[in-house]
Structure 1
Amino acid sequence: MEHQELLSGFIRLHVLHHATEGDLYGQWMIEELARHGYRVSPGTLYPMLHAMERKGYLQSRTERAGRSHRRVYRATAFGVEALAFAQDKIRELFREVASGDNAT
């Protein structure tokens, strides 16, 4: 994916947003991100989900899905707090970027 380094933060916020709304699993998240123009492979997303869990933003559990099992993620209280903090920063950044204000 072009500009991967810049977009990875948006992807994490997108994951956190959906994880605060309810349960999600990796393949669903890959499809959801694709609807928004992000092409994310399992080799990128799953390590990202695991890292977000290690850092305390997500928690997971294993559920049976037919004959197999899948890991289902949900935001923790820390993740909900982090998303609220990020939303304020996103609003501030959007106002600045959308206005074209390049002053420092």
Structure 2
Amino acid sequence: VGKYHLLVCGTSPCMIRGSRDIEEALLKHLGVKRNELTKDGLFSVGEMECMGCCVNAPMIAVADYSNGSEGYTYNYYEDVTPKRVVEIVEMLRRGEKPTPGTQNPN
């Protein structure tokens, strides 16, 4: 997996709310297939089952291995859109830490 392993929720509530569009946006933007590593080693995209916040679907989790496998963390991003997940990726690429939680400004 990459330094940042991007996990798209694959359960029914997220799928109904567009998680496949989220995954497609990530794969297209990064130029990889599911579970492939980007050439720079920063990113990989996978699927995760229920993240427990179905009311705010669709969701992604970012497994952050920037501190090594012993010090990894998970951050959860709710109410994501294809546009927003690309923004999250680019923030991570720049070394920024996107604010987890809902991504719906309303």
What's the TM-score, normalizing by structure 1? 0.28
Compare the two structures and name the one with the higher helix fraction. 1
> In terms of Rg, which structure is larger?
1
What's the TM-score, normalizing by structure 2? 0.27
